[in-house]
Amino acid sequence: MKAAADFLAPVFSRYPLEVVSAQGVWLTNSRGERVLDLYGGHAVAALGYAHPAWTAALARQAQACQFQSNAVAMQVRSRAAERLVRFSRLPLASVFFVNSGAEANENALKVALRMTGRPHIAAIEGAFHGRTAAAGAVTWGAKAKGYGFPRTPFDVSFIPRGDLAAIAAQVTGQTAAVIVEPVQGLAGAVDLGAPFLTALRKRCDEVGALLIFDEVQCGVGRSGEPFAANLYGVLPDMLTTAKALGNGFPCAALMMSPVVSATLKSDSLGTTFGGGPLACAAIEAVLDAIEAERLLERVQRLGEYVRKTCVVGPVSASQGAGLLIGLRTTRPAKQLQAELLEGGILVGSASDPNILRLLPPFILEEEHVDMLSGALRDLA
Ligand SMILES: Cc1ncc(COP(=O)(O)O)c(C=O)c1O
């Protein structure tokens, strides 16, 4: 007989782990054992699991009103948009809420192409932006990996990572936008750094192209600042974010500068579920908790602690920013990932086969990092 799980499309390779419940940074598997979660469900569980304020906010909103579309005003939606802009500490003017990171990027690219009337988008080698048509088109290696569609909906070219000299040839008067993850996530926590991001900003200004930061993975505090844009002091025209934004309630946002916002009018963009009240209640709870619990400082402190203590055993170096960390390994990372999981620690991998990727909840403590460094030492 077919098992229940066999009714799911066979598109995911799964870890040998079935989770039945979770609390704080701990998962409980179906055998009743605890697993330390240093992966946070692909960077989603920023507040960890069963966070009381987040759980209460969702329950309150579910009781008050679970859904109304964007055609109907709701205070929770307006509050979430204002909260997100203020949290960002960036001079951004408006927020378009959607449901996923790919959808946020899709809309950002649409806005840029329409606004400039140009045919070309530049992206960065190694980038991952999602699996929909436009997001897949600007994802590096999409064809080989099947991330995108057979043809791209606009012209695309890629700039080698960190290659300042290559920027001018790829970003021209034909370019509508440059899209970039300031810290590349799936690539293995590759921090592109202030000089490269500043050079992109400068070139976009020279040719009249827009700069889009994809902070789906590195945003909402994961870099130790509200956004990586704050960390590097580079201001994009549009910023997309998702993952940690809802702590597990699906949601995403496209944030826009005053100039970009001013080009939009009624019906320019649309969505049914984006900006739903449950998502907005989750967003408010996440941002409130990050500020009230001073989680940005904790991300900075714990990120440094990981870098200081976890370059041991089969780990030869570390990279990334805040709690988006890549540990470079001397053995295949997938092998080490499996061995760590056998010992009760869940970590991620990356498209780089020698990188273990850590995306832990922001509520992480030093003792959890000590468990990882101890386990790594034992794996030497
Ligand atoms: C940087 C980045 N952009 C976009 C996406 C796509 O987000 P989603 O899976 O929510 O569509 C991801 C997902 O991993 C991501 O890491």
CATH number of the domain that residue 43 is part of: 3.90.1150.10
83 and 141 co-located in one domain: yes
100 and 195 co-located in one domain: yes
- pLDDT band at residue 3, thresholds of 50, 70 and 90? confident
Distance 351 CA to ligand 1 centre (A): 14
Measure Cα distances from 115 to 119, 175, 264 in Å: 11, 12, 9
Q: How many domains does the chain have?
A: 2
- pLDDT band at residue 2, thresholds of 50, 70 and 90? confident
Please determine, for residue 235, whether its predicted confidence score (pLDDT) is greater than 80.
yes
Tell which of 227, 258, 292 closes a domain: 292
191 and 169 co-located in one domain: yes
21 and 60 co-located in one domain: no
229 and 335 co-located in one domain: no
Q: Establish whether residue 139 lines the binding site of ligand 1, counting it when its CB lies within 6 angstroms of any ligand atom.
A: no
> Are 105 and 129 contacting, i.e. CB atoms less than 8 angstroms apart?
yes
pTM comes to 0.98
List the CATH number of the domain containing 279: 3.40.640.10
Tell which of 272, 292, 312 closes a domain: 292
Among 39, 44, 243, 245, residue to substitute to test ligand 1 (most atoms within 8 Å of Cβ): 243
239 and 260 co-located in one domain: yes
Looking at residue 143, its amino acid is K
Tell which of 248, 275, 292 closes a domain: 292
Could you tell me the residue range of the domain that residue 341 belongs to?
A: 4-51+294-378
Tokens of 9: 């499309």
Q: DSSP letter at 355?
A: E
Using CA atoms, how far apart are residues 21 and 58, in angstroms rounded to an integer? Answer: 18
Distance 101 CA to ligand 1 centre (A): 5
Tens of pLDDT, residues 139-155: 999 888 888 899 999 99
12 and 109 co-located in one domain: no
Q: Establish whether residue 100 lines the binding site of ligand 1, counting it when its CB lies within 6 angstroms of any ligand atom.
A: yes
